[in-house]
Amino acid sequence: MSFSYKNFSKFLLGGLSVGCVGGYFAYKNQNKPIGLNTEVYSPFTISQITKVTPDASIFTLTPQGSLENMKNMDPISKVTIRNPDMQVQRPYTPLYINEDNFKFYIRNYEDGPVSSHIHSKKEGDTVELRGPFKTTKLDHTKFSRIVGVVAGTGIAPIYQLAQNSKVPVDIVYCERPGQEPALKEQLEKECPNVRVRTIQDRLIAADDILKWDGVDVPLSETLCIICGNPKFVATVAGPKAEFGAKQGPVKGLLEDSSFGKVWKL
Ligand SMILES: Cc1cc2nc3c(=O)[nH]c(=O)nc-3n(C[C@H](O)[C@H](O)[C@H](O)COP(=O)(O)OP(=O)(O)OC[C@H]3O[C@@H](n4cnc5c(N)ncnc54)[C@H](O)[C@@H]3O)c2cc1C
C-alpha cells in the first residue's frame, strides 16, 4: 500500500487534532484547583451565608475543584481554614459530611484572625480549606448510646456525629443567656434519635448530663463527649492535658460518673 501525500496530510491533521484536544484538557486540568486535600489549601466558594445569631452564621462552601475527597469521610471529621494574609489556620467542623458542599456553623471573634477573616467575606467570595482530618481517634461505634455536652459552636462536632449515628444521642446544649441555641430544632427534626436539652440561664449541673427519661442503655455502654471552650470542658470533665491530644483525668462534674467513656474534644 502506497502512502500518498494526501494520506499523509490526513494523518498529520488527525494527529494534530488529537494533540490539540489532549493539550486543551491537560491545560484545563492544570488550571483547575485540585479540590479538598490534606496537603495544600484549595479554594472554595462561599455559596450561601445564613445568619443564625448576631455573631454566628452558617457558611455553605462549594469546592472549585474535584469533589472526590468530600465523599467517604468518617465522623467526626474536620478541615482547616486559613487566613492567607496572616498565614494562620484553625480547625472547623462541617455539620454534614459526604455531601457536595460543606456547611459550617462559625462564630465571629472580633480579635480572632481566622473567624473574623471568614466573617468578613460575602457570598461569591473564596476561602481556602485543607483536609479532611479525623478530629479524634475515638471509636464511637463501640457504644450503644451517646451523650453530648456542648457549649456554643461545640454543637458542630456532635451535630455531625448525630447525623451519622443510629444510636440514641442525648445532647446537653449550653448557651449564653439571650443567645439562640442554634441548630437545635433543625437537628431534632433531621435526626429522630436525637434529644436536645438546652441550658441558658444557669450553670450546668451533673444531673443535667446524667438524668434522662426513657433510657434503657446502661451508663457503662454510654459514651459521653464534651465539646466547648477549655473552661467549659474543664468544668464538666476536668481540663485536657496541656500537650498533645491527651485527655487528662476525668474531673469536674463527671468525676464520679460511670460512663463507659468520657471524651473531651
Ligand atoms: C477540632 C475543632 C473544631 C472546631 N470547629 C469549629 C466550628 O465548627 N465552628 C467554630 O466557630 N469554631 C470551631 N472551632 C474553633 C476554631 O478553630 C477557632 O478556634 C475559632 O474560630 C477562633 O479562631 P480565631 O483565629 O478567629 O481566634 P483565636 O485567635 O483562636 O481567638 C481569638 C479570641 O477568641 C477567644 N476564643 C476563641 N475560641 C473561643 C471559644 N470557643 N470560646 C470562647 N472564646 C474563644 C480567644 O480566647 C481569643 O480571645 C473548632 C476548634 C477545634 C479544636
| Distant-in-sequence, close-in-space partners of 178: CB < 8 Å, separation ≥ 6 | 200
Ligand 1 centroid–CA 162 distance in Å is: 22
Lowest mean pLDDT among 175-184, 195-204, 250-259: 175-184
Q: Where in the chain is the domain with CATH 3.40.50.80?
A: 145-264
Which one, of 147, 128, 119, lies nearest residue 41 by Cα?
128
Tell me what the mean pLDDT of segment 17-46 comes to: 70
Tell me what the mean pLDDT of segment 157-177 comes to: 95
Band the pLDDT of 230: cuts 50, 70, 90.
very high
Ligand 1 centroid–CA 194 distance in Å is: 25
- Report pLDDT for 178: 83
- Report pLDDT for 33: 78
Band the pLDDT of 155: cuts 50, 70, 90.
very high
Q: Is 181 annotated as a binding residue?
A: no
Q: What number of CA atoms fall less than 13 Å from residue 30's CA on the CB side? A: 6
Rounded Cα–Cα distance for residues 107 and 52 (Å): 10
Residue 36: Cβ within 10 Å count:
23
- Report pLDDT for 24: 44
Q: Is 92 annotated as a binding residue?
A: yes
Tell me what the mean pLDDT of segment 76-82 comes to: 97
42-134 CATH fold: Elongation Factor Tu (Ef-tu); domain 3 (2.40.30)
Tell me what the mean pLDDT of segment 35-50 comes to: 96
The model's pTM = 0.87
Rounded Cα–Cα distance for residues 151 and 55 (Å): 15
Q: 21 or 72, which is more confident?
A: 72
Task: Evaluate whether ipTM surpasses 0.90.
Answer: yes
- Average pLDDT of the chain to the nearest whole number: 89
Residue pair 253/204 in contact (Cβ under 8 Å)? The answer is yes
Is residue 78 lining ligand 1, measured as CB closer than 6 Å? yes
Residue pair 56/105 in contact (Cβ under 8 Å)? The answer is yes
Is residue 182 lining ligand 1, measured as CB closer than 6 Å? no
**151-154 long-range CB contacts below 8 Å, 24 or more apart?**
151/175, 151/227, 151/228, 151/229, 151/232, 152/107, 152/176, 152/179, 152/228, 152/229, 153/56, 153/105, 153/106, 153/107, 154/227, 154/228, 154/229, 154/232, 154/265
Q: Residue whose CA is closest, atom 46 of ligand 1? A: 112
Q: Ligand 1 atom closest to Cα of 56?
A: 11
Q: Is 109 annotated as a binding residue?
A: no
With a cut of 80, say whether residue 31 has pLDDT above it.
no
Band the pLDDT of 72: cuts 50, 70, 90.
confident
Domain range 145-264, its CATH number among 3.40.50.80, 3.30.300.30, 3.30.1490.20, 3.30.2320.30: 3.40.50.80
Band the pLDDT of 177: cuts 50, 70, 90.
confident
Residue with cell 499523509: 8
Is residue 113 lining ligand 1, measured as CB closer than 6 Å? yes
Q: Residue whose CA is closest, atom 4 of ligand 1? A: 92
Tell me what the mean pLDDT of segment 212-229 comes to: 96
